Amino acid sequence: MVTMAVQVAGNAEVHIPLRINLQRVEARRKLRAFALAVPLLLFILITFIFPIARMMFDAVHDNTLLKLMPQTAAALSAWDGKDLPSEGAYAALAADLKHAWAQKTAGAIGKRINFELPGAASQVASSSREANALSTGPYKAALIEINPLWAQPEVWAVLKRGGSSYTPSYLLRSVDYQYGPDSQIVALPTDSAIFRDVFLRTFGISIGVTAITLLLGFPLAYLLATLPSRVSNLLMMLVVLPFWTSLLVRTTAWVVLLQSNGVVNDVLMTLHIISQPAELIFNRVGTIVAMTHIQLPLTLLPIYSVMKTISPNYVRAARSLGAGPFYGFWKVYFPQTIPGIAAGCLLTFILCLGYYLTPALVGGPSDQMIAYFIARYTNEELNWGMASALGAILLTATLLLYYVYNKLVGVDQLKMG
Amino acid sequence: MAAFPYASPIEKGWRYLHRLICGMVILFLIGPILTVLPLSFNSIPFFAYPMQGFTLRWYQEFFLAERWQTGLHNSVFIAISVTLLSTILGTLAALGLSRPHFPCRAAVTSILISPMIVPVIITAVAVYFFYADVGLLNSYIGLILAHTTLATPFVVITVTATLIGFDHSLTRAAAGLGAPPITVFYKITLPLIFPGMISGALLAFLTSFDEVVVALFVAGPEQRTLPKVMFAGVREYLSPTIIAAATVLIVFSIAMLAAIELLRRRSERLRGIRNN
């Protein structure tokens, strides 16, 4: 305010209109407010948004072949892809293989080709070694002599596609498609098509856990919302207590409980419900039980907070107008809880899609969700293109659902206000 | 729900069934933790009841074995660094965001909050690829930066919450009375947002202290944190020491979150905001 007054006075002789002056002050204020957020904004952009954007980019970007086999890529740019390429392309290939041998990059080339042509890695490596001994052409016969791999049109199709820095191969593979021998897109053979199952499983487990948390959470939320506050606060603490302990600790508790000689099996056997230990862990049962336990408070709390706002007078009015207790509940109370149900269920569903820790510790090999495969391609198979593609799909799904969630909850808050 | 004296027997039956179901759900929620924790005092290394005897040897192992102590020290060191960094960055950003003149508030807020929304496995893998390029893998600084990213949204949210209903005429009055901006901050703003800052700091500490997935990817053997040691233990050999460690973690986080809740209530009382 003080600065503004001084400004106006100081600039009086130049006759700057008040409107412009006010705009300037406004802009300066905006800038000052923004400057406070700049350090964190930059920090998040550099350490979080940029790495994630790069991961998304890596899902479609791969210049391994273009970088490591530049001559072949150039020689193949005019190739029509029908017959085997001409002597010139083979000469370029021989030169690239020699170079790869000298630079020790044959392994990387082999790995990249192996992704689309399984089994090619060792042949590329050995060809590179033997090509190093070739001194003069013609190279076509010599290379085919070294390894029949180079007489296959498929490998040339891979090399030609490698001439572009962008490839949909990883995304295609994530949904169980690949390039066929003539560069057309075909479905993967059923024995190696795993991702459709993985996505279905991820969706299935998430929907199952969401449904169970709703079934268990709704009655409890209703009780908590309708009990006198002294009792309900106490019960609320019991609901929030597990929510306050870390995911790892809760998962560990389930591993201990569900073991074949663990407490749950002990109790079931003492009660003569089962005669020998049931398989409760490292399978679907354990995964769903542990995930339900972890997600239950997150489904319950939004439902509870919506129920708290519903006046008991509505149901009372319905009852006094002659509605039975169930009719009154179903027609008058339940519809008003739907925003809470939608918010709680959507939140749980979104969080379930990305579960890694719990299935990894409590589930078996056939219960692993998409996150496990992202981790596996990163750490074990070292195929970062695949990890990025699967990650891009999971992230896109999550963000879309969050957008819906935001719309939904935002609209509800308007209504409640 | 008050018990209607004129409720029919069927309705009463339903009400008891409802209570029974709720009792079982609460048992399901709280049972696992309450069942497992006492097993850390079991004198034999089995995870079943009845317990054979009382012992503190698993706690002794936790507090004396080098593997666990290194993990604990690393976790505390990393979590404290994360707390300092994220409290400073988060508080500044929250102060900016809650000024009435902040441009593109919605967009900036969603960027600052995004680490909470993105599945942690995506964060872990993306940061892993990034660190592989810039050479921050297997370093303390890398893990601290990654955890700070995950922790700052909590600080931004808690501090912004204490600034809701913040009366900007207070700072203007102080400035009008001649206080320089720094004095205004220390004398007016800071005391008002302090409970939110502390809550945010505690949440940031817990976020880093409990975090395991990102640590699994970007931390090397030298930065083994407590959750990492626990994770390896659950995977390889489940010993009662793990439950002792879990018990320590639970007691620790409950103490911290209780402190946060108390601070929140105190702050609301001080600022005259009432529930309902």
Q: In whole angstroms, give the CA distance from residue A126 to residue A106.
A: 9
pLDDT at B272: 64
Residue A354: φ, ψ to 5°: -95, 10
pLDDT less than 50: residues of chain B: 1-3, 274-276
Closest CA to A295 of A406, A208, A186, A407: A208
* Phi, psi of A61, deg, nearest 5: -115, 125
Q: How far apart are CA A370 and CA A199, in angstroms?
A: 7
- Using an 8 Å CB-CB cutoff, list chain A residues near B33: 241-242, 245, 249-250, 253
HEC secondary structure over chain A: CHHHHHHHHHCHHHCCCHHHHHHHHHHHHHHHHHHHHHHHHHHHHHHHHHHHHHHHHHCCECCHHHHHCHHHHHHHCCCCCCCCCCHHHHHHHHHHHHHHHHHCCHHHHHHHHHHHCCCHHHHHHHHHHHHCCCCCCCHHHHHHHHCHHHHCHHHHHHHHHCCCCECCHHHHHHCCEEECCCCCEEECCCCCCCHHHHHHHHHHHHHHHHHHHHHHHHHHHHHHHHCCHHHHHHHHHHHHHHHHCCHHHHHHHHHHHHCCCCHHHHHHHHCCCCCCCCCCCCCHHHHHHHHHHHHHHHHHHHHHHHHHCCCHHHHHHHHHCCCCHHHHHHHHHHHHHHHHHHHHHHHHHHHHHCCCHHHHHHCCHHHCCHHHHHHHHHHCCCCHHHHHHHHHHHHHHHHHHHHHHHHHHHHHHHHHC
Q: What is the pLDDT of residue A222?
A: 94
Pick out chain A residues at pLDDT < 70. Answer: 1-14, 410-417
Neighbours of B243 (CB within 10 A): 26
A/B interface, count of CB pairs below 8 Å? 250
B218 to chain A: nearest residue by CA? A379
CA-to-CA dists, residue A170 to A56, A161, A387, angstroms:
11, 13, 9
CB A85 within 8 Å of CB A75: yes
CB contact residues (below 8 A), chain A span 354-393, against chain B: 354, 356-357, 361, 371, 374-375, 378-379, 384, 387-388, 391
CATH topology of domain B66-275: MetI-like fold (1.10.3720)
Domain topology for A195-413: MetI-like fold (1.10.3720)
Name which of B29, B160, B172 to mutate to probe chain A: the one with the most chain A Cβ atoms within 10 A of its Cβ: B29
Tell me whether residues A242 and B33 touch, CB distance under 8 A.
yes
User: What pLDDT was estimated at residue A13?
Assistant: 58
ipTM for the predicted complex comes to 0.88
Q: Are B193 and A18 in contact (CB under 8 A)?
A: no
The answer to whether the Cβ–Cβ distance between B101 and A384 falls below 8 Å is no
Nearest chain A Cα to B152, which residue? Answer: A40
